[in-house]
Structure 1
Amino acid sequence: MHIVTQVVTTDEGERARLSLLFQPAAGDLSAIVLRFAATLEEAACVPPPFPDLLLLAPTDDDGAGMALPVSPAVFGNAAVVIVGDAIDIAGTRRLLTSGLADDVMLSSDSRSDTFARFVAVIERVRARERERNGAAIVLAAMADAVIATDEAGTIAYCNDAACSLTVRARKEMLGLPIDAVMALHAAGTLAAVEHPITRAMNDKQAIRLPPGTVMVRVDGSEIMIADSTSPIVAPDGKLDGAVMVFHDVTATHQLQSQVDYLARHDFLTGLPNRYAAQLHLAEILRQAGANGQGLAVMYLDLDNFKSINDTLGHAAGDRLLASVATRLRACCRSIDMVSRQGGDEFLILLAPGTQPDESRGAAQRMLEAVAAPHLIDGATMRVGCSIGIALHPQHGLAADTLLQHADTALHAAKAAGRNTFNVFQPRMLDSVAERRALEDALRLALDTGGLELFYQPKVCLADGAIHGCESLLRWRHPDWTRFAIAEVIRCAEQSGLIVNLGRWVMHEAMRQARAWRDSGIDPGPIAINVSALELRQADFIAHLEGCMARFGVLPPDVQIELTESALMRDVASAVDVLHRLKGLGMSIALDDFGTGYSNLSYLADIPIDLLKVDRSFVHGIAAASPRRQALLGAVLSVAAHLGLPTVAEGIETPAEALYLMNAGCQMGQGFLYSPAVSAAAFERLLSHRENP
């Protein structure tokens, strides 16, 4: 190995001694080639090639000068060695620990020892340089932006990603204060945010920006960023600067904002949903109780709305609901909340401080506003409404009590002829007798018959093939036809009959699955709706396994379908049951997604296989506003990112089906394909699809 050594010394005797020391021996294949200069400045002007090693041999007179910083980069990152006899040991130690020198040799060292020492220090420096270059390559290739500063906050390094995110060239950034390149502020308040590099150096610890921090770029555009920033501290404890690693989270934040909005708002009307209303009611009750104030809880239900859906279609019905929502909002103060509970039912929460007469006045305004003609699709529609009012504290202190009493007052208003309002009175509880009669009739039907399952197909949007069905309860009873099946289900839930009813449905669905299999019919999995109360039963899994064993049904033959509300009643126990179901090989679908509790956090934890998009997202979507279409896109995007197929409910037109397919939805249900039909009619539907 030949070592090119640049010697810096003004001592002629030292030059002669070094020349003699490194004179090559006979037959020596290695050599140390010396080049001499009197000063560092002179050595820096020596033409290439760069030396392998820079040997500093100061005299007593200029030894102190050798303590000035020496940049190896000037000499091609050569190793720096000090001849140590001419300076004090303490000064030599300082040069080594400060990093200004890589090694020290003594004049008394032999040639062989010196050569070996030179080879070792050169290899060490080269290895260090290779490591540094490797790190630089990694930093340059990172997708995250990286900016490093010196102790004064001046930018000393930035990778390509940092240049891209800040919209600046590297040569513009290097040497600038970090605050001049990155102006940060809070998204909500626009207040300036202290730069994390400044804080990290002041606190000497790693920190992160507050969530929602916005960076204003040189072109005036803004992006939201997330970071991790740490101080750079030398081994001796000296602060050398800081490094910030950050990335653009604008798209992620926008998607999360959309999901958060969906979690608290009704897709169709834009009003707060049931979940948001529950939270708001709890808060205003706390305020009213603390301040000794009154408030009002009002249930509003449209009169004969079902007939509009049946005669004009669900799309027209949806637009009418949106028109009603706008009018209700205009009847209330900004401090009041109007929410949609689902279907044609609204909940109005009048703020603390509301007097009884004010609630009556608001109810009268709502009756008149809703009754005024609605212009829908060029046609005039008229609809009335009924309202039930419960007052705090007169009619209850707890949210559940007030809601129950407002609902009782609503039923009294409907019984009084509709298109009116009623304030709760204790005597209205007598109407509970009618509900008890409904409960008794349902109990009898479970014991003696009268219940039936209908089946609605799930259809592939791309080719129209049937891929399973949903089992839906029907009750043929001459005296209770005025109650919709949803109200029958609600009666069952309130009375506890839902457990027995759910088990009847499971039994019947599995019996039908076996009957179809024995007949050589393959409809795909039959979805079975399961309520929150059923899911909480200790023997739920055992009963399911028993039904499967009794009818010889395999896990692929059935699918468990749950609503979001069923899951959210008790997330921890529900997740445990779902994992046990998955252990059996069961498929699990989440129904009514997007209507009440949708958020990313619980979706990441529950083992579901399918998301069913609620019909309120679907009707009229092909011609809907960009805002509505964007919200549907957010729901489908969440499902796609989680790897979950989707089924859109309530499809009624080819335009809706085409839009949903192009938006990424795989399957659909709705009147476009078929309503829920009897088992025999479903068999004919399958046969027609297979043999058109």
Structure 2
Amino acid sequence: MDMQILVVSSDPRDRELLAPVGRAHRGPPGSLAFLHAASLAEALRVVPRPVPDLILLNASGQRSRGGTLPAALALHYGATPVIMLCATSAAADRYHGPDKSIADPVVAHIALEFAPHRLLWEMFQCIVTAARRMQRATEGGGQRGAVLDAITDAVISTDSAGNVRYLNAAALRLVALTPREALGMPITEVMRLQDGATLAWISHPLLETLRTGEVRRLPRGSILLRNDGTQIVIDDSTSPIIDDAGAVIGGVMVFHDITDAHRLQEQVDYLAWHDFLTALPNRFAAQRHLERTLLEAQDKTLALAVMFLDLDRFKSVNDTLGHAAGDALLVAVAARLRGCFRAVDQVSRQGGDEFVVLMAPGTSRADATRAADRILAAIALPYELPEAEAHIGCSIGIAMYPEHGTTSRSLLHHADTALHAAKAAGRDAYRFFVPDMLASAMQRKQLEDGVRSGLAAADFELFYQPKIRLADGSLCGCEALLRWRHAQWGWVSPVEFIRSAEESGQIVALGRWVLAEAVRQAGAWLASGLDPGTIAINVSAIELRHPAFADHIERHIADARLDPATLQLELTESAVMEDMDKSAGILNRLKGLGLSLAIDDFGTGYSSLSYLADLPIDVLKIDRSFVHGIDHAQPRRQALLHAVIALAGSLRLPTVAEGVETGLEAGFLSLAGCAQGQGFYYGHALSADAFERTFLSQPAQA
């Protein structure tokens, strides 16, 4: 159906939220059009022709002269239906004024951010269709009875005693009676009314109107029990009939069936407070529940627990089995969590793989501890998914009221802080909040922000540490090492800022900067006739898993017109072994580009013959733990180093010993067959200029 909708809102987010609705409808292009006015004044100044089929009104901040907002709209736009853009009925009612009648154009309220686009489109269709039907029925004039019979709203009138004197066709249909059955009967027998929330019988508003002479309305969501036994939800307006002398001689009620709209509103309200996937309360519901629960806890001086949960290893399920499997896993986790708690406790999903549990007032620290143990045990059990069996864990942070906070905001924040502490402690664990955690959390946040600003301001620098050929002491390459000197903090440890970059997701951007700078410096040295040998750069596991990693390296080297053999990528064993099949594909592609590949810190992770044989590795770097004091170490430790070098030799892989600090260590390594050495004995990591002066100013040795 063709439809023109006027949006009266000064909030730009409303326009963003409505844009997908146009894609949800299935009509031809151009059949749905949105007009926009920033204010009510603008909407009333120039009324478009033809008049819009529907008005969406965000009344926040709007003002009207001489009446309510709906009345102002009705004056200019006639019977065009209006939907208020607000989350609650109370918010919508603030703009109706005291005398809201059936002529009031507001038909519903809705929160755009909580309603699915398809649901919005169907709601708009229903409302516009009903409005058009009413308009057609009232066009053309005619006698009073014919007009009233033609309209879709039900009209029923009584005398001053409350006995029915008139019903139009729509009223007869809605009360399920014939004229003979209804006329002359008390209105309370013709229309039996119930409260929509409690189902308690309520008095008829017509009786109140006859008694007071004032306009009355039913409570929102009131139910009409029809005479055929069925029920419908109705909306009404009841007014007195007054004679020339001012006496009330009867009353008239105009009402209509809003059952479908009421159900639709209930669905929208449900979606506003529940997670679509797991049907658990969402974070808005959790916030509201916590604030209410805190009032009870304060009144009764009771403790309660707030638990923040995050699933461990969930991302690997999404990455390997797909998002459908991830969704199925979240549903299963939600069911297990509900099974761990009482009905008075609330389990909610915050989003992603995060959940919050609000334990009822009267919960002790011991209760929370037992609950955390139940959660860890339940989540750790295997999950039988359609694709495969999955194994995950979870980390839990716990904050207690009033010990750790007295507001919902502080309790949730402190539980989240404790969650990060549980993750930092190795995951699959729980931690209660302690104040010292705040300092650690603040430091993590400052470091994360510092890395971000350091990247933007180009505060990072590459230093270069030489690699020496043990046979003759000549330079055979170098390793590019990232350094950061902060304006206020001074030199920051690479261990700290690289870990922060990995946790915050900035490691990919940092790695790309390192690649760009190493390629630039290599090009500058080679253009000056200087040969630094192979320049090695470190690659994290997160970078290796990034889908565009190989593409970016290939494009960057090609753009710089650099010989790929100039670069060497250093990867840890754990990064390579995390997903062997995927790693093999990426490494073979990188090898095909002409890059050399090295395994860093060899011997500290998953050392095995199989992956060394299956992957295109060029160099093994022996971890410094094997090298330190090797010249005077126990024979078994020396034998282990000999075995590592022999293993590499059998696979025709040259070895580089890291952390060489003395001449005796260097001599032992050379005799053991190690090809290259790197460490303070040969030189510290130096800035590019210092490295050039120290190691590249001399003619290259054969």
TM-score, normalised to structure 1's length? Answer: 0.46
Calculate the TM-score normalised by the size of structure 2: 0.45
Q: Which has the larger radius of gyration?
A: 1
